[in-house]
Amino acid sequence: MLGDYEKFKKNVFGLTQIDLNAYKEKQMRRRIDTLINKNKMANYDSYVELLKKDKEKFEQFVNFLTINVSEFYRNPEQWKLLDQEVIPELIQKFGKSLKIWSAACSTGDEPYSLVMAFSRHIPLNQIKILATDIDRQVMDTARIGLYSEKSIAGVPDDFKRKYFTKVGNSFQLSKEITSRVQFQQHNLLKDDYPTKCHLIVCRNVLIYFTEDAKEEIYKKFNQSLTKDGVLFIGSTEQIMNYKAINFARKSSFFFSREQ
């Protein structure tokens, strides 16, 4: 045993403002214990002291807590629905100056996919995406815009040809796309949410949270949207009580704000 996990959670919150109580404990504790052992620390207390004095280990810890499984155009059929139905409806209702938020954006695959998807409907220089994540390291990776072949496998062929350049075994995304995204650190459990959004995309992230934390985040997403604004969630997720928190279901993974 590595010691008092409850005390450790309080110490982590004091250091990072990350509330480990919001994560499923068994899964998260197993991940953390693995990292502590990897760093050859004897217990939670000694690991906390390491985090306080070693910036690199601190960043490693935050990065380790964050689930970074991402790819461009993940679940293509949902992106097809976004392209053919959701985006045209948003433009029809709100015009082309849309406020778009990619929450828990990880390594940037999703916000950059959004830029490309919207570019079929709006000139690139009119597209702005706010992309947020709790993890600074993954956002640094995202800003670079360099991806593996596997990561970009789902990108439509015309966009691959137009916006990606092969560099060794990787692919560099064009500044035409990367310049349309603003990255910003944000904690979904603690920080204020943007307001009057027309589209919020948060996919395959909340499955790692407790039911109470999920409901609170979905409520905040609803409040963050303008009336008739849309929330796009992942194929691993569902909002069971969507009516109770002021959502209307447009399709399996798209929900609009009612009032």
- Identify the band that residue 252 occupies on the pLDDT scale cut at 50, 70 and 90: confident
Q: Read off the pLDDT of each residue in 104-131 and give the average, rounded to a whole number.
A: 96
pLDDT reported for residue 70:
66
- Residue 181, H or E segment: strand 181-185
Report the predicted TM-score, pTM, of the whole model to 2 decimal places.
0.80
pLDDT score of 24 more than 80: no
Q: How far apart are CA 35 and CA 215, in angstroms?
A: 29
Could you give the dihedral angle defined by the CA atoms of residues 3, 25, 111 and 152, in that order, rounded to the nearest 10 degrees?
90
Q: Element (H or E) spanning 142, and its range?
A: helix 136-144
In the chain, domain spans:
5-65, 76-257
List Cβ neighbours of 189 (8 Å cut-off, separation of 6 or more): 18, 19, 22, 213, 216, 217
> What residues contact 68, with CB distance under 8 A and at least 6 apart?
106, 107, 135, 138
Chain mean pLDDT for the chain = 91
- Whether the pLDDT of residue 104 is over 90: the answer is yes
Share of the chain above pLDDT 70, in %: 97
Q: What is the pLDDT of residue 254?
A: 97
What is the length of the chain? 259
Q: Is pLDDT above 50 for 67?
A: no
Evaluate whether the domain defined by 76-257 bears CATH number 3.40.50.150: yes
Closest CA to 95 of 130, 114, 121, 117: 121
Give the model confidence (pLDDT) of 166-210 as tens digits.
Answer: 887 888 899 999 999 999 999 999 999 999 999 999 998 888 889
